[in-house]
Chain A
Amino acid sequence: MTLLLGIFEEGLIYAIVALGVYITYKILDFPDLSVDSTFPMGAALTASAILAGQNPALALFLSFLAGAGAGCVTGLIHVKLKVRDLLSGIIVMTGLYSLNLRFAGGRANVPIFNQETIFENPAVDRLIPANLRPFTVVLILLLIVLACKFLLDLYLNTRSGFLLRAVGDNETLVTSLAKDKGTVKIAGLAIANGFAALAGSIYCQHKGFFEISAGTGTIVMGLASVIIGIQVFCPDHRPYLFRLRNRTFSLRPTAAVVAGSVIYKACISLAISLGLEANDLKLITSALFLIILVISGQRRKKVKRHA
């Protein structure tokens, strides 16, 4: 039971990163490494804000904005200074490492135990009945993730969201529509990194500490979640997920990546429960990602061969 809850807790936190990575990787086709540092940036800012006595919900909001700012920087480096996409992300990722240490008051590890967080505060104690206590964290996370998912869905169906989808699909068309494709890319990166920092903030409040190395591998986890989610729930070759009594059911990509994130965390937990050590975590993370990439690559080929 604890294991299952743990999977959902971690999975839902990283689902928010996955929503961001979905924007950069799937919609913009931009491999954005800056999430590796915007995630701990959210955590660092949150730790400082909470220790300074700020409202934990405000810390979420603040982290999102700061992440969006960092995303803008990545975008500006890529668009205005014409640096390649991967390198723009690496530049921001590396630079932010030092800034994150500053945000955290010069320390690589900041505990915020016994402070009020979004998971532990009087309002939560009042609203959630005693028998649901063990599920508090999952419930709150579910609420936040669903809110993010629906807001993103809404956004992607606005005119501005159409343009975002168009820029990854066909840049030329965006120019033809008399819009600057660079600005659209910057906006997309801002939203994506906002999500990553928001997830970092939640992670910090959940774990009860900030740690500078928390961000390592964020992009891998995000990408893995996106690829699993899309491959399993939104296959290219089928317009629907399953058919039941002549009705077809499908999952939106945003819902798929959330599910993908939970599945990915479950796979990692499985690997650890099979006897691997916690120290092997990053190795498992990347090995699993490689396996997913290879499997999904093969599938794509197969579809083409049949077409």
Chain B
Amino acid sequence: MLRLKDVSKYYHGGTVNEMCLFRDFNLTVDEGQFVSVVGSNGSGKTSMLNIICGSIPVDSGAVYIGKECITHMPEFKRQRRIGRVYQDPAMGTCPHMTILENMAMADNKGKSFNLRPGINRRRIQTYQQMLAALGLGLEDKLHVKAGVLSGGQRQAMALLMAAMTPIDFLILDEHTAALDPKTADTIMELTGKLVREKNLTTIMVTHNLRYAVEYGHRLVMMHQGSIVLDLSGSEKEAVRIQDLLDKFNAISIECGN
């Protein structure tokens, strides 16, 4: 279970440009839940993910995983239990290292990076099977550098690598936004499959309302640092893209746009 409790976050604190993004923000994500998060630019979606992952500090409030408070745990330590896929496909792999080397590193997450050989030859077949399951032909390109792969191929690898070792949470930060519509669909199908197979607790930020409606158990809409819509269960099942668009428009009109 993940919990954000009374989190406050200010930007440019102490200057005339001070902006309050979150004031006493609360969110609880249950074990095994797949949450889709939508919202306009600047609504705090990515900031929320950054707070969960520890990429940015909070000004007050607390972040819990289960009963453990991780508010002040450094980012890299939290990552042991978190898998994160970024919007930019280049963020998930090392471009100058081969596919095999990238896979081997991801496989070693949580263990010691010591002086043993970087690649465990007995695992190669397993990597090939994992890559074959992506259906992108990557299993035959083990010795190709990840930098020459297309954005979609890299994002598929990033997804695979993020969830290769046992993790508590999968954090998806607009991970289909930089891809063409067809590739985005493929990556989204892979995501759905992966989350189902491993029963991962997932938070997915997306601008694609269709994905938000089709995938996940819960839908959250954010606006100016607070949650304006939180649907789960049968309400989530019943929601349509048009409903979300209407809500979006309603918010925008309130803002005066």
Identify the A interface with B (CB < 8 A). Answer: 155, 157-163, 165-166, 169-170, 172-181
**From A160, A162, A177, contact of B101 by CB (8 A):** A162
A162-B105, A176-B162 known; 17 other A-B pairs, CB under 8 Å?
A155-B115, A157-B117, A159-B114, A159-B118, A162-B108, A163-B105, A165-B94, A172-B86, A172-B91, A173-B93, A176-B92, A177-B79, A178-B79, A178-B109, A178-B110, A179-B76, A180-B74
Closest approach, in angstroms, between the C-beta of B20 and any C-beta of chain A? 27
When the two chains form their complex, are residues B94 and A159 in contact, meaning their CB atoms are under 8 A apart?
no
Nearest residue, chain A, Cβ from B145: A239
A158 CA to B116 CA, complexed, in Å: 5
Nearest residue, chain A, Cβ from B120: A159
Q: List the A side residues contacting B104 at CB < 8 Å.
A: 162
The answer to whether A170 and B118 touch (CB under 8 A), given A176-B162, A178-B110, A180-B76, is no
Q: List the A side residues contacting B114 at CB < 8 Å.
A: 158-160
Nearest residue, chain B, Cβ from A178: B80
Q: How many of chain B's residues touch chain A, expressed as a range?
A: 20 to 34
Q: List the B side residues contacting A162 at CB < 8 Å.
A: 97, 101, 104-105, 108, 113, 118
A158 CA to B115 CA, complexed, in Å: 5
Q: List the B side residues contacting A157 at CB < 8 Å.
A: 117-119
When the two chains form their complex, are residues B96 and A165 in contact, meaning their CB atoms are under 8 A apart?
yes
Q: List the B side residues contacting A155 at CB < 8 Å.
A: 115
The answer to whether A159 and B115 touch (CB under 8 A), given A166-B94, A169-B95, A170-B93, is yes
Q: Is B84 interfacial (CB-CB < 8 Å)?
A: yes
Identify the B interface with A (CB < 8 A). Answer: 74-77, 79-80, 83-84, 86, 90-97, 101, 104-106, 108-110, 112-119, 162
Q: List the B side residues contacting A180 at CB < 8 Å.
A: 74, 76
A176 CA to B173 CA, complexed, in Å: 14
A163 CA to B112 CA, complexed, in Å: 11
A170 CA to B92 CA, complexed, in Å: 8
Nearest residue, chain A, Cβ from B118: A162
A174 CA to B76 CA, complexed, in Å: 8
Q: List the A side residues contacting B86 at CB < 8 Å.
A: 172
Most B CB contacts (10 A, CB to CB) among A163, A176, A178 go to: A176
A185 CA to B118 CA, complexed, in Å: 18
Most B CB contacts (10 A, CB to CB) among A155, A158, A175, A178 go to: A178
The answer to whether A163 and B84 touch (CB under 8 A), given A169-B96, A169-B97, A173-B94, is no
Q: List the B side residues contacting A172 at CB < 8 Å.
A: 86, 91
Nearest residue, chain A, Cβ from B101: A162
Closest approach, in angstroms, between the C-beta of B240 and any C-beta of chain A? 35
A176 CA to B91 CA, complexed, in Å: 10
Q: List the B side residues contacting A159 at CB < 8 Å.
A: 105, 108, 112-118
A177 CA to B83 CA, complexed, in Å: 9
Q: List the A side residues contacting B93 at CB < 8 Å.
A: 170, 173
Nearest residue, chain B, Cβ from A155: B115
A180 CA to B76 CA, complexed, in Å: 6
A160 CA to B105 CA, complexed, in Å: 10
**From B90, B108, B115, contact of A170 by CB (8 A):** B90
A69 CA to B101 CA, complexed, in Å: 30
Closest approach, in angstroms, between the C-beta of B54 and any C-beta of chain A? 9
Can you name 26 A-B pairs with beta carbons within 8 Å? A157-B118, A158-B114, A158-B117, A159-B115, A159-B116, A160-B114, A162-B104, A163-B105, A165-B94, A169-B94, A169-B95, A169-B96, A170-B90, A170-B94, A172-B86, A172-B91, A173-B92, A175-B79, A176-B79, A176-B162, A177-B105, A177-B106, A177-B108, A178-B77, A178-B80, A181-B76
Q: List the B side residues contacting A174 at CB < 8 Å.
A: 76
Nearest residue, chain B, Cβ from A180: B76
A163 CA to B109 CA, complexed, in Å: 11
The answer to whether A165 and B97 touch (CB under 8 A), given A158-B117, A170-B91, A175-B75, is yes
A93 CA to B105 CA, complexed, in Å: 34
A155 CA to B112 CA, complexed, in Å: 15
Nearest residue, chain B, Cβ from A169: B94
When the two chains form their complex, are residues A160 and B115 in contact, meaning their CB atoms are under 8 A apart?
yes
Closest approach, in angstroms, between the C-beta of B2 and any C-beta of chain A? 17
Closest approach, in angstroms, between the C-beta of A188 and any C-beta of chain B? 13
Closest approach, in angstroms, between the C-beta of A108 and any C-beta of chain B? 40
Q: List the B side residues contacting A166 at CB < 8 Å.
A: 94, 97, 105
Nearest residue, chain B, Cβ from A164: B113
A165 CA to B147 CA, complexed, in Å: 14
Nearest residue, chain B, Cβ from A156: B118
